[in-house]
Amino acid sequence: MQNILVIGANGSTGRIISKILRDSTDFKPFAMIRKEVQKPFFENRGIETRIGDLEQDFSDAFKGMDKVIFAAGAGGGASEEKTTAVDQKGAIRAVELAKAHKLQKFVMLSSMGTDAPSKVEGLETYLKSKKAADDFLRESNMVYTIVQPGGLTNEKGTEKVEVAKKLKKMGQISREDVAQALVYALELERIKNTSFEMISGKNDLKTEMKNYK
């Protein structure tokens, strides 16, 4: 049983990730939350928590962990300063801490559009922050997987997707399917040291990820 730190666990996607991990026979989730008041949601569901704030010192959250999923984000209505603090600086610090604690793998939730942040009006700061964090992870010498989904929806997951290093079209995908992909990427040798874009499609999620080069 591997201990998985879920950063951003209290977010919409993070909660789904934590539940999938809880129901797994291979992984035990530890939900990183910012406030004590958030504890009951997880503890009532049998999920342990760790207190940590991406804008402060959150190093204690990494103790005893084997791998990490970073699914945090400042949110759509956040200021540029907040977005940079969480999505860039917080993510980079998480990579540094994962490396310092000798974690086996870092799975990053990123976004489509990071290759050209200036082309997506209104999301430039967000995508630039994501790109900076992704690039830092790629150069960190950690084993990693970066998942870059299209627009996230709250629709029920189908586990039917379209996956490529670079998709030639935009699209959407359910948070449930993204969460499944992030958990599936925890396997050490699976989609190792690479990134991929993902939207809803017609292909089986696990088959696509298993065969991804």
Enumerate the active-site residues.
126
Residue by residue, what is the 3-state secondary structure of the chain? CEEEEEECCCCHHHHHHHHHHHCCCCEEEEEEECCHHHHHHHHCCCCEEEECCCCCCCHHHHCCCCEEEECCCCCCCCCHHHHHHHHHHHHHHHHHHHHHCCCCEEEEECCCCCCCHHHCCCCHHHHHHHHHHHHHHHCCCCCEEEEEECEEECCCCCCEEEEECCCCCCCEEEHHHHHHHHHHCCCCCCCCCEEEEEEECCEEHHHHHHHCC
